Structure 1
Amino acid sequence: MDSDEVAEYVERSQQLLEASPQMNEQNTKVRLVQPLLELLGWDLYSTEVELEYTVPMASGSTHVDYALLVGDSPVVFVEAKAASSGLSSQHVQQLKSYMRQELDVDWGILTNGKEFEVLTKDQYSNDGEEVSVVQFDLDDLGENPEVLELLSKEAIRSGKADEIAAQVAQTNEAIRYLNRNEDEVTETVRSAVEDELGEVPLDLEEQSRDFVQNLVSALREQRQFVSEDPPAGTGEPPVNPPEEEGPDEDDELQPRQNRVVGTISRDEIEGDDDATVAVYPSRESGLRFLKENAAWGFVRVGRDFDYIAMYVTGDESEVRYFAEVKEVVDPSEADLERDPLDYLDRDEVGEGKKVIEFERDSFFELKNPIPYESQHAQSRRDTTLGKLREAGTTDDLF
């Protein structure tokens, strides 16, 4: 995927969204979604793209906005929503139901031009359950254009996308197994360490459980990674091995320190009910930056706010962290544990991006995190401190 072409698409889309923030669905399709399909290599003026494709349903039939075809068979469904609206769990379920009706459709894209979610069929589940592979927004796309490789026409036709789908399915199965059998796996790890080392001056039960939970987090992170390289730890060499070894993997993934000061219940948080709380999304992989620095970056900030809450994506999507904002600074002025480029895979920090620094004694993990229902933060969304205290699910926040 040509990074310059992706950057041009992102810049043009952002300009259109700024000029027309209430863009309706039809204009979103023409101005934002169809250029994306062209960027992926699909020819809109050929028979490989069909608009308003008929999907047979039990009660009759319906239509999906776009079907991308290889030969005579649809292989990708694309469902578009208005840029003026957010993406919800109902929209995801809608796309899943369409994919379920066509055996050859292994991939789905849900987008409103600002936010994107990619679905695939889990080859390891009995019914080929549709699962989310990756979620990203325009800012993410500008910084990581390679994410589009997944659904390029070339990847679909070559089978590379299917290989990634198989990897995702295996990872999902491992996550489900570890979640279902956490106690048993924890005991197995504890027993193995004790057999090898005998007594050690540590709580082996606690350490073993932490190991299992960290393994689940690492698997969730791996599931979000789109690459030609095999998953870490498979023992297989990468397709294109690097000539030089990169930084140590543990140093790349693990926080050097944890500046979370403790846990707090939401009803214990002090402050004005009307105070503004900016809710930002983070993948599991972003928690290293968060914990090391008691800060969040590299993001566009816009309106002022008093507090920040972090919505962590993944199988257990939830608002999990909270802090009081100290100040917003340029990345070059931020007191970061590492060089900014070490957090961005040696990419450049996007123009206009900031770092939000926290009051160090205010950075907590929530004892009662707010679980995802249908409203989620794929980019910044604002709420109030009063709503954050009282929310039962994310639907009560926004």
Structure 2
Amino acid sequence: MILEALQREATARDRDDAFAGLRDEFRIPQHQGREQHYFCGNSLGLMPKAAAEMVQEVIDDWAQLAVEGHFKAQHSWMHYHTLVRDALAHMVGAKPVEVVAMNTLSVNLHLMMVSFYRPSAQRPAILIEAGAFPSDRHAVESQIRFHGFDPERDLIELAADEANGTLSMEAFQRAFAEHGSRIALALLPGVQYRTGQALDIGAITALARQAGCAIGFDLAHSFGNIPLHLHDHGPDFAVWCHYKYGNAGPGAVAGCFVHERHARADLPRFAGWWGHEAGTRFLMGPQFIPAPGADGWQLSNPPVLAMAPLRASLALFERAGMATLRAKSERLTGFLEQAIQQHLTTALEILTPSEPARRGCQLSLRVRGGRDQGLALFEYLVAQGVLGDWREPDVIRISPAPLYNNFADIAGFVEHTAAWAARH
């Protein structure tokens, strides 16, 4: 009866949701004749229906125009990356000149470190959080070695100091006070992938700048999830992917932010011809003249087929607005948290901070009873058509994305988890 009441509440909330229709803009995977309860947007977002049409447009132009599609396509390939610029700027709180869609996240991270990790004997270190996403850790360790320094000494990993593995602002204050004079670069997440904790980008950026450090953010789990204000908060750079909450497809083209104060030609960088200023690029001269702003970090011409789905997704974000989506996200995640606290406390422990300002849409859950029990529950949920995300050693991540998840999805997760718990 209690779960029936939860389902009725979910139905009522979905009925009152002014943006429930956005779900109809996506392909929802099916499970045994019904829609799957999909909570894995923090790994791969669902496909916007318009993505197929936009990809097909490029394919048709390719077939009919061949090389002339660069200029005569319905949306000129030569300038295709500019079609997403304004929407990306809106999404991350930046000026259009500060953002560009290019490459993939790890490639962009290395390109940014070429410019912003400039170590010296006095400042050789990089600060990251302990348990950082592996690609970030691999990248910073390799950069430290590349510059002739030792990661054993010069890679500073900030350990969690709060229950459930999260970080307090005091931890960052202590780290910069203790190590600031040695830190060349701080690289931190906007939202930590394992715990779901959202960091205070503005406050941390201020600490880094006071310590004389360069600072960048990996926004892989932040883009499309939480409001961002990169220009005003002022980090040197940020990188992110678009295949998670950005819904741009597997291996989608990534994004990059470079603050406008760095829009100058003398900053060290790896150069490529598409980063050359557009007006003289095709003169094919030997001298590299960087394009203004973030465009100047491009290497190769835009991957047009990969950018088409991003256009489709960004149109939906623009239609709804991040403020509206964030409000819905807080309602969805709050409903999930409340339902777990009311019905599943004997089975699940919530690791993600409870304060809405310190989290996005993801709740990281630890199953009581250990890893084997956690895997058993995860596999049971998959068999019931409830797809979350497993992260070693013992975390199930459930992420209700406001563009396409609804309250009925959450009620389904709770119902199936309760059924499993009743037998264990």
- The TM-score, its normalising length taken from structure 1, stands at 0.28
Instruction: Give the structure with the larger strand fraction.
Output: 1
Higher relative contact order (CA 8 A, sep 6+): 2
Instruction: Give the structure with the larger helix fraction.
Output: 2
